[in-house]
Each structure stands twice: as structure tokens, then as C-alpha cells.
């Protein structure tokens, strides 16, 4: 997605060979116009998949998901990373390993909002090791919902998440795939337009 590539090139900061900082438009300050374009692109790629709901994870997955949900005319559910005071019954939970922090976190969604009638599009901001996406797929599975695919804003193609998900037969649509962050520069994989 050209507009996203340009934004990453212009404003992304390469912190190391593994980490890209995109706080000016995605992870802290949010660019609504870019989020709208991202929502339109997800909507276009999944327009024939009869999606009933978007499933994402707080916090940075929410902005692109809400835009996609608005354009597709469907609700957005975000998995919570912390226990909620009011959301305690009928929870569907999954464990998410963090390789960078060496921790395991429980994420959860109310069974009221994801059911066996749903056909889901899972959306997240980054795909690195794929653990968050696997946790969301686990929640969908427990709810009996089907999953049309996973939509990612930025995939780090040099980390194993994309290969892991695709090898399990999951359709992954990434709007930008970065193959290298060496020498302080993001190198994009050129994708055939779908
Ligand atoms: P990982 O080992 O699979 O990479 O997972 P980890 O839990 O360590 O990732 C921590 C957070 O860092 C996740 O967001 C993930 O989306 C994000 N992340 C992974 N690689 C990058 C990167 O190169 N750049 C940026 N900006 N983020 C990255 P999170 O903690 O769940 O935060 P949020 O969704 O609330 O923003
Ligand atoms: Na993040
Ligand atoms: Na995220």
C-alpha cells in the first residue's frame, strides 16, 4: 500500500535491526486520514468474504479496525489484555507469549460478542512473532467462529509470524511487509497487487 510505505519511509524511525517506531501515526499519535485509507484497503481485500465482525486487540489494533469496521458496516471487538471490573462472566481467554518481554499474558473477549454465527476478520497493527494473532485465532476457535483471514498494517517479514500463520493455512493480508531494517532503513517487499 503506497501511502503507507511513504508514511513509514517519511516518519518511521528504525530503532534497531528489529524494531520500527511508528509513534507519529499508529502507536501513539494517530493519523485518521491514513487509518481511513487502511480501513478502505482491508475492506477492499476482504469484500467477498462475508465478514460479520472484526476482532482485534487493544490498544494499537483498535484505530485501523474501527475504520475498517466503519467502511464495512460491521462491529469491532477488541480483546482485553487486563481484567475488567464489569466484564467478568462468560469470558473466552487465550494465552499470549511475549518473546521480547519473556512473559505470558492472558487476553480475553466476552462470549456475548463473538459467537458461532460470526465470520471474523482479525486485524492488528504489527505482525512480528505472531503470538497475538495466534491468541486471537484461539479465541475465535473457542467461540466456534470462522476466520476469513488476518489483516496486518505492518508485517516484519524477517520475523517468523507471517510464515507461521501462512503455514497453518491462515490467509494473511499485510498492507506493508518490511524485509529488513538493516542500516537504519526500512526495505519493503514489493507485493503483487491483489
Ligand atoms: P513479540 O515478541 O511477538 O514481538 O511480541 P511482544 O509482546 O514483545 O510485542 C510487544 C508489542 O510490540 C506489541 O504491541 C507488538 O504489536 C509490538 N511490536 C512488535 N514489533 C514492533 C515493532 O517493530 N515496532 C512497533 N512499533 N511495535 C512492535 P503491544 O505491546 O501489544 O502494544 P499496543 O498494541 O498497545 O501498542
Ligand atoms: Na503495538
Ligand atoms: Na498490537
Q: Which ligand is nearest to the CA of 81?
A: 1
128 is in an annotated binding site: yes
Calculate ∠ Cα 109-169-47, nearest 5°. 70
- pLDDT, residue 83, reads 76
In Å, how far are 86, 160, 166 from 130, measured between CA atoms?
29, 7, 11
Mean pLDDT of 73-92: 88
CB 4 within 8 A of CB 176: yes
pLDDT of residue 101: 87
Residues with CB under 6 A from ligand 1: 19-22, 27, 59-60, 98-101, 125-126, 128-129, 131, 156
Could you tell me which of 93, 86, 37 has the C-alpha nearest to residue 63?
37
What are the two backbone dihedrals, phi and then psi, of residue 181, each rounded to the nearest 5 degrees?
A: -120, 20
Tell me how far apart the alpha carbons of residues 72 and 74 are, in angstroms, rounded to a whole number: 6
Pocket test for ligand 1, best of 58, 63, 128 (most atoms within 8 A of CB): 128
Report which bound ligand comes closest to the CA of 22: 1
In this prediction, what percent of the chain has a pLDDT beyond 70?
98
Provide CB contacts within 8 A for 171, sequence distance 6+.
Answer: 148, 149, 150
Find residue 91's DSSP bridge partners. 110
Query: Residue 125 CA: which ligand 1 atom is closest?
Result: 16
The model's pTM is 0.95
Instruction: Tell me: pLDDT of 194 over 60.
Output: no
63 is annotated as contributing to ligand binding: no
On whether the CB atoms of residues 158 and 180 are closer than 8 A, the answer is yes
Distance from residue 48's CA to the centre of ligand 3 (Å): 26
Q: pLDDT tens digits for 48-80?
A: 999 999 999 999 999 999 999 999 999 999 999
Residue 8: burial class (beta carbons within 10 Å; 0-12, 13-18, 19+):
buried
Amino acid at each position: 500500500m503506497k501511502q503507507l510505505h511513504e508514511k513509514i519511509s517519511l516518519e518511521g524511525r528504525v530503532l534497531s535491526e528489529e524494531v520500527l517506531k511508528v509513534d507519529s501515526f499508529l502507536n501513539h499519535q494517530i493519523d485518521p486520514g491514513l487509518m481511513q485509507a487502511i480501513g478502505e484497503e482491508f475492506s477492499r481485500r476482504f469484500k467477498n468474504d462475508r465478514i460479520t465482525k472484526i476482532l482485534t486487540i487493544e490498544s494499537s489494533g483498535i484505530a485501523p479496525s474501527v475504520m475498517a469496521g466503519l467502511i464495512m458496516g460491521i462491529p469491532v471487538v477488541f480483546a482485553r489484555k487486563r481484567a475488567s471490573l464489569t466484564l467478568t462472566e462468560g469470558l473466552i481467554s487465550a494465552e499470549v507469549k511475549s518473546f521480547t518481554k519473556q512473559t505470558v499474558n492472558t487476553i480475553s473477549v466476552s462470549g456475548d460478542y463473538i459467537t458461532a454465527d460470526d465470520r471474523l476478520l482479525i486485524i492488528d497493527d504489527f505482525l512480528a512473532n505472531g503470538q497475538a494473532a495466534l491468541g486471537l485465532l484461539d479465541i475465535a476457535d473457542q467461540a466456534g467462529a470462522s476466520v476469513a483471514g488476518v489483516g496486518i498494517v505492518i508485517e516484519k517479514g524477517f520475523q517468523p509470524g507471517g510464515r507461521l500463520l501462512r503455514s497453518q493455512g491462515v490467509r494473511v493480508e499485510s498492507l506493508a511487509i518490511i524485509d529488513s531494517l538493516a542500516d537504519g532503513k526500512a526495505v519493503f517487499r514489493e507485493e503483487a497487487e491483489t
